[in-house]
Chain A
Amino acid sequence: MKRHFESPIVLLGARLLSPYIMVFGWYVIFHGHYSPGGGFQGGALLAASVLLIRVAGGAHLGNLQIKEWVNNPIAAIGVLIYFGTGLVAALAGGYFLDYGELPIPGVEAAWLRYIGILIIEVGIGLTVMAVLVMIYDNIVTGEDND
């Protein structure tokens, strides 16, 4: 098996690019109301920024950024954000996932739907990011130890 080969130039390029890709991922998630984008696309970009460090620096360096065991809880939290938003709206007197009934005082129903869509997009983005990183981590598990 090929040994892991470290190149400082590749690592420096990855370190330079990774934060910008992550910021652009959050931009795509939060700007999904006004331009093409949303949770799925932004989550894929967030995963790209995390995976870039893992590909360039190996598992040890990648674990300094986001630890391997954190992926599964983050993905579950993303699902729970979405489900919890729907459940809160249902408990507040509306239908399941009817954001117009969210209990935020002083905001009219149309703007409540705006906020509700934003919350669930963040949940989708977290889940997509964590699952893509989780797939990569599970596939390459043990490669560095051989």
Chain B
Amino acid sequence: MKALKILTLVFFAAVLIYASLDLPYRGDPGNYMHAERSMTDTPVKGSYFIQEAYNDARTPNMVTVVLGDYRSIDTFGEQVVIYAVGLITLLIFKKRRRDKE
């Protein structure tokens, strides 16, 4: 049974390594995600972010502009999720303490 588990893990590792061989080379400017037009010939949003992030928000760090400005509602949702996590720990552990007393 243990040999079967190890064989399964080795098999999955082999599959993942084989799949990773087909990934595009990182940083290659010819990759699809760096092109101005996508495979289906629609404009790619990322090229607009790269070209106009500094002009829109005067911030050299592109990642901050995407996180705080272009996708700010997504970030607001993340913050609310973190606050909800804090409230949930409050509810769970306060209840346990009341049971103990």
Any chain A CB within 8 A of the CB of B26? no
In the complex, the answer to whether B61 meets A35 with C-beta atoms within 8 Å is yes
How many inter-chain residue pairs (CB < 8 Å) link A and B? 96
A sample of 5 more A-B contacts (CB under 8 A), given A116-B68, A121-B68, A127-B83, is: A38-B67, A72-B86, A72-B87, A76-B83, A79-B83
Which residues of chain A are within 8 angstroms of B76 by Cβ–Cβ distance?
82-83, 86, 97
- With A97-B73, A124-B79, A142-B100: A131-B86 Cβ-Cβ less than 8 Å: yes
B93 at the interface (CB under 8 A from A): yes
Q: Which of B57-101 contact A (CB under 8 A)?
A: 57-61, 63-65, 67-69, 72-73, 75-76, 79-80, 82-83, 85-87, 89-90, 92-94, 97, 100
Cβ of B36 under 8 Å from chain A: no
What are the residues of chain A within 8 A of B97 when measuring CB–CB?
141-142
Q: Which of B61, B65, B80 has most A Cβ within 10 Å?
A: B61
**Is there an interface contact between A33 and B69, defined as CB atoms closer than 8 Å?**
no
Q: What is the CA–CA distance of A128 and B82 in the complex, to the nearest angstrom?
A: 7
Question: A143–B55 Cα gap in the complex (Å)?
Answer: 53
Residues in B neighbouring A20, C-beta threshold 8 A = none
- With contacts A82-B76, A127-B83 known, is A114 near B89, CB below 8 A? no
Judging by beta carbons under 8 Å apart, are B79 and A32 in contact? no
**Do residues B68 and A86 form an inter-chain contact, with CB atoms below 8 A?**
no
- The residue in chain A whose Cβ has the minimal distance to the Cβ of B85 is A131
Judge whether A127 and B69 touch: CB under 8 Å. no
- Asked whether, in the complex, the Cβ of A114 is within 8 Å of the Cβ of B57, the reply is yes
A96 CA / B97 CA spacing, docked (Å): 41
Q: Does A7 contact B (CB under 8 A)?
A: no
